[in-house]
Amino acid sequence: MKNSNDTKQKLIDVTRQMIDTKGVDSVSMRDLGKEMNLSRSAVYVYFKNKEDLLAAIVTEDFEMLKTRIGKLTQEINDPRKLVYEVLYAFYDFGINNQEHYKLMFLKQWDKNQYDNLHIAAIEVFEIFYKCLEKPHEQKYTVNKPPQQLTAMISAFILGLVELNSTGHLEPEKGLNNPTGLINSFIDLIFV
């Protein structure tokens, strides 16, 4: 049984390498089988189709992001600094993992079909929420409920990553300084 799990994880790892070197469109079950010295049909023993395989990678990506920003919540006590660091870590992840970011946030995944993926995504959202819950209770944030603040922060950082990853860094639009924009956005939230 361990061999089966090792093969499945190896398929995920090789696919991740394919995405990182040639982009998500380069992934094919046939090429993956060749790379692993498996028949194409053997790949389907582990994943029913390409989307199923990509969903496993996206779930891992959310887990990695959750671990990365979750660690910050344990290390930083100042709420404003914590929110900045969490947003910057999220931004950095998106910019440095653009193909994965697209799969994570620009593709709609079926909640019923990929419940582990959905749970992992919600857990990332919950970290944002927890970063805002305590300062909100202590009246350090604008008068919006933590859920609404979390949605606002999520929309902001997703938009900033998307703009910057597509090359919109124009100084005349004020988009050439992502860290400054993150700080300015936090200024709007913390009072």
For 22-64, write each residue's pLDDT tens digit: 999 999 999 999 999 998 788 999 999 999 999 999 999 999 9
Position 127 scores a pLDDT of 94
CB burial of residue 5 (10 Å; 0-12, 13-18, 19+):
exposed
* Neighbour count for residue 66 (Cβ, 10 Å): 18
For 88-131, write each residue's pLDDT tens digit: 999 999 999 999 999 999 999 999 999 999 999 999 999 999 99
pTM for this structure?
0.90
Using only C-alpha atoms, what is the Rg of the chain? 19
Alpha carbon 80 to its chain's center: 21
- Evaluate if residue 160 carries a pLDDT over 80: yes
Position 1 scores a pLDDT of 40
Q: Has domain 57-189 been given CATH number 1.10.357.10? A: yes
CATH architecture of residue range(s) 1-47:
Orthogonal Bundle (1.10)
Domain boundaries, the chain: 1-47, 57-189
